[in-house]
Structure 1
Amino acid sequence: MGKRILLLEKEKNLAHFLSLELQKEHYRVDLAEKGQKALSMALQTDYDLILLNVNLGDMTAQEFADKLSLTKPASVIMVLDHVEELQDVLEVVQRFAVSYIYKPVIIENLVERISAIFRGRDFIDQHCGQMKIPTSYRNLRIDVANHTVYRGDELIALTRREYDLLATLMGSKKVLTREQLLESVWKYESATETNIVDVYIRYLRSKIDVEGQKSYIKTVRGVGYTMQE
């Protein structure tokens, strides 16, 4: 069966057009116009991707992303109404979205981006699941089936990008350079700067580390990062 996408878009004509075009690519698409409705659908259904307009009307994109990340992380593409809007929502986009696009939406570009995201996701899931790479380190554990992370018995709320980064680090037996992490986690964004890896390492550490204790992620100066002793 095709991948399942939740499309949250307040412009009905655009939503209908995007839905039809994505269905032509064999994706299953569900539509929502409001944030609360979309959130309810996302919590009840295991979507492979969420296309999210940053202007939800009944809630902010930050509120939506925060509530969504309390369950299992989802791959989110944020849709911005215009280029100037990025500066206002940059932090939300960086923390919660795997990518973003501007209107007017060019369907060929969107389809290509979605395909690349799914290729990257399938690669990471395969390496964490079928290949039986270790999914635990100290008292940190990845539930591969549900894409969730636990520290002891505590569920750690991660975004999809943070989850992918953690899974990649935990699954590697060697130190990974920033370039290697970009290839594994951000492979479809060739223009991404390597400093985005450092930013996400900080995000990840702020969520998984315990104050006063050694970080789960070791920085190897001049090389990259590892989760090996």
Structure 2
Amino acid sequence: MTKSGNYSEVSWIKMKEREVLLRILVVEDDETVRSYILKGLSEHGHTTEQTDSGRDGLFMATTEEFDAIVLDRMLPAPDGMTILKTLRASGIQTPVLILSALGDVDDRVDGLKAGGDDYLVKPFQFSELMARLEVIAKRHNPRQSADTILKVADLELDLLKHKVTKNGQAIEVQPREFRLLEYIMRNRGKLVTRTMLLEQVWDYHFDPETNVIDVHISRIRSKIDDKGKASFIKTVRGSGYIFREN
């Protein structure tokens, strides 16, 4: 059993009560897959417990509290299905996302009937795993409900009306700019990497050397920043961006 949780100082700068970080248990015996998941969760600011053992995973899941569990189906004894059935029989309702290379309809149905909240087939993209985790966590915990208005200083993003205003004045933004601004504002105070932006805003991988992010960030800055003041969006050279209050 090991513990992971890369909480850098920047991850906690001006965190708002509306933002709830998740505590997630990852039970996965494939070291490459496990490291991939842990890295992504850490970049999103979440904390994790991890193990490659079904026995340890069952012990941790029954003795500690988690917001969600990522559970590999094909673990050494006990396997993921046995762990899941044991948890549900014990009255533990922690949301569980099953990971498996078994992707037939019958396999997915079996996993859900055993008590799984969702089922994700390998190989997968981290953005999809994160989205599924957020959904099942929100379903079980009302604290996870999303805001409809994001506001930082005099800048406001209305998610229902799809509208951006500054000092009460409307700002025209393109759909992609809106998505990019929304994602950065939701993660304000935290480092948002280029990989995260490419996966979350563009939905698939670009060449990491592409300047598409830089172009969109520049356009957004020209629309939301005040002359003579530091930009809302700070560039962290070689890493990504941080949205901060001026």
TM-score, normalised via structure 2 length: 0.46
Structure with higher Rg: it is 2
TM-score, normalised via structure 1 length: 0.50
Greater fraction helix: 1
